[in-house]
Homo-oligomer: A and B are copies of this chain.
Amino acid sequence: MSSHIVVFLPDGACLEVESGRTILEAANAAGVAIDSSCGGQRACGQCKVITSLGRPAGGPGDLLSREEVEQGIVLACQATVEEDLVVEVPLESQRGELRILMGRTEVTGAPGEADTPLGARLPVKMVSPEREREASDDERLLGPLKEATGDGFSELAIDLPALRALPEVARAGGWEVDALVGDFDGRGRVFGVEPARGRETYGLAVDVGTTTVVVHLIDLATQGFVEACATLNDQIAYGEDVISRIIHAQEHETGLAELQQAVRAAINRCVREIVEEHGVAREEIVGAACVGNTVMTHLLLGIDPAAIRRQPYVPALRRAPTLRAEEVGLEVHPRAPVYLAPCVSSYVGGDITAGVLATALGESPRLTLFIDMGTNGEMVMGNRDWLMCCSCSAGPAFEGSGVEYGMYATVGAIERLSYDPEGDAVEYMTIGEAKPRGICGSGLVDALAALLRAGVVDRAGRIDLGFPSRRVRVRNERPEFVFVWGEEVGRADDISLGEDGIQNLIRSKSAVYAGAETLLESLGLEAGQVEQILVAGAFGNYLDAESAVMIGLLPDVPLDRIRFVGNTAVSGARLAVLGRGARRRMEELAARMTNFELSVVPGYMDRYVSGLFLPHTDLGRFPSVAGLLEPSA
């Protein structure tokens, strides 16, 4: 039976599913929450989704209006997967309680027939010595395993610790055992031998970000999402960006070891939290895929990244061999395989390769601009025929760093916001519908756009102290705008956005916009020719396209071309855990991407400076925004 990749937007979650499964089954398995009060009985009509790539099978049924059918809307419980799909889940179909990024979902099954996962528990019936004398125990194990895995591995061998366990486990279990098999770049390794049907097996997908580490636990039996956990990367103690980390590694004798230990500690903290919550044993996690930018990849492996900072900016490695967990220091099965997503260059890393995989950009016929907004802003332009990538230092403002009430996109973060100057009223939504604790990236984009539209801030980002609103005030000698009054939500202080934060946001958005502009020009393209803009990043569960264009973060294209695709790094890591096809594809993609070095293009800096206005020095580039600003200009 064939299987296909399904990518869900804006979550960015992806998985492989068997032909014939419904999109709803796939969504449940992927941990994507789609509203369906009838439980998939084709009764409620809530599970409306749009497929933006690929065409699902199954009739529309009678729950959709003619307009909806014409718009390409299908019901997730009726539409079945017959080819690779990118499925967009509209906000109104997203299940509320599951829009918590770090939440928990039920594993409701519906696994696809995976190709070789990174690690697996395979039951083996060995031939007993009574039936076949001329063989050793390892041959009794490897023989049937080779048959079971078919062409899956170029070779299959057994690790010494597993070999040591084998004689006793095999005899105690009447020659039935479970073999833990890892995929080490096409070579199979039996890294554990355990009593048959003893335990669950899980995989880890790890997004090793400069600022934030995100870990997903995947149930390998169902391929379903179990739990996610995010935490700050402990390396922040040694500097906020990758450059300051490299300097720390260089200037302190134990710097490299400290940085390696710090990122391990962050990952392992998440792992411990997840496994404790779910009663999972460390040894039940039989594979981990880690994706990170090139510097994070170096530091996780304890490899000196010094050359990345020096002309001509070369990395020590781009593609690491699949390692053992104990070598990397991850607290999972010590001999489990750890796969690292391949990097393209010193500043375009495995997180981008994973993102290109997860968005299916490399297979798309449409000219696409993919932007991953992390502490660095990386982007990839291209389609199924060519891919060009570059990186710019955006800074972590959109991850909430450097902005007073900025925060990472987790429970309590304001992720959506609007301001009505008529009534001086702010409306907002928080992640998890919890009490507001701060503003995450998507909320900050909305906030800045709203203030600009209302005329509270001018195009230089200055707050107009004469603006007729009690929300505009000066605190600690700095002008700011209050979005949430503390007393209204039962907190001691007010949630506001001040001029310092605004300047950081402007620098970040300008770095990204200038990068996109430079890349486009180098390719002889104009923004209008881009057929879709996919924005990834861990700054929320959605991004308002209009706000993003309003502040000049994204080029002024028709808004329906802009789509937020979530944390594609961790989505790609999840795919890598589940199938070798995905791992191989990542390697092909990394090899296909042509690296474009922004820093050597003289015009980049000029463009960056021109972008330090809202939306831009040159309003002609933003005609749709210019129209909105005119009344207040």
Contacts and interface: CB of A to CB of B under 8 A. Distances in A.
Interface of A: 129-130, 133-139, 154-155, 157-158, 160, 163-164, 166-168, 171, 185, 187, 301-304, 306-307, 312, 314-321, 323, 327, 343, 345, 595
Contact of A302 (B136, B157, B164, B317): B164
Given A137-B307, A307-B137, A316 B166 contact: yes
B314 A135 contact: yes
B160 A304 contact: no
Contacts of A323: 160
A157 B133 CA distance: 38
Given A167-B306, A187-B187, A303-B167, A315 B136 contact: yes
24 contacts: A133-B312, A134-B345, A134-B595, A136-B315, A136-B316, A136-B318, A136-B343, A137-B307, A137-B314, A137-B315, A138-B316, A138-B317, A138-B318, A139-B318, A157-B321, A160-B320, A160-B323, A160-B327, A163-B320, A164-B304, A167-B303, A167-B304, A167-B306, A168-B304
A343 B160 CA distance: 16
A320 B307 CA distance: 40
A137 B168 contact: no
A532 to B, nearest CB: 28
Nearest to A327: B160
Contact of A158 (B133, B185, B304, B321): B321
A164 B134 contact: no
B312 A129 contact: yes
Nearest to A130: B312
A337 to B, nearest CB: 13
A4 B445 CA distance: 75
A327 B326 CA distance: 14
A62 B301 CA distance: 68
Nearest to A321: B157
Contact of A167 (B134, B157, B316): B316
Number of copies: 2
A170 to B, nearest CB: 9
Contacts of A301: 160, 163-164
Nearest to A140: B314
A133 B315 CA distance: 10
Contacts of A595: 134
A633 to B, nearest CB: 46
A316 B160 contact: no
Contacts of A304: 164, 167-168
A136 B314 contact: yes
A130 B307 CA distance: 12
A490 B16 CA distance: 84
Contacts of A314: 129, 133, 135-137
A595 to B, nearest CB: 7
Nearest to A328: B160
A312 B127 CA distance: 13
Nearest to A133: B312
B136 A167 contact: no
B317 A163 contact: yes
Nearest to A343: B136
Nearest to A131: B312
Given A138-B319, A160-B327, A164-B301, 12 more contacts: A129-B307, A133-B312, A136-B343, A137-B307, A137-B317, A138-B317, A138-B318, A139-B317, A160-B323, A163-B316, A163-B317, A164-B304
A328 to B, nearest CB: 8
A308 B435 CA distance: 68
A383 to B, nearest CB: 22
Contacts of A343: 136
B307 A167 contact: yes
B136 A317 contact: yes
Given A134-B595, A316-B138, A318-B139, A163 B303 contact: yes
Contacts of A316: 136-138, 163, 166-167
Nearest to A171: B307
Contacts of A160: 301-302, 320, 323, 327
A619 B164 CA distance: 50
Contacts of A135: 314
A595 B135 CA distance: 11
A315 B163 CA distance: 12
A314 B136 CA distance: 6
Contacts of A154: 154
Q: Which of A312, A319, A327 has the most CB of B within 10 A?
A: A312
A158 B320 CA distance: 8
When A and B form their complex, which 10 residue pairs have the shortest distance between CB atoms, in order from nearest? Answer: A136-B318, A129-B314, A137-B316, A138-B317, A157-B321, A167-B316, A136-B315, A136-B317, A129-B312, A167-B304
A139 B344 CA distance: 13
Nearest to A322: B157
Contacts of A302: 160, 164
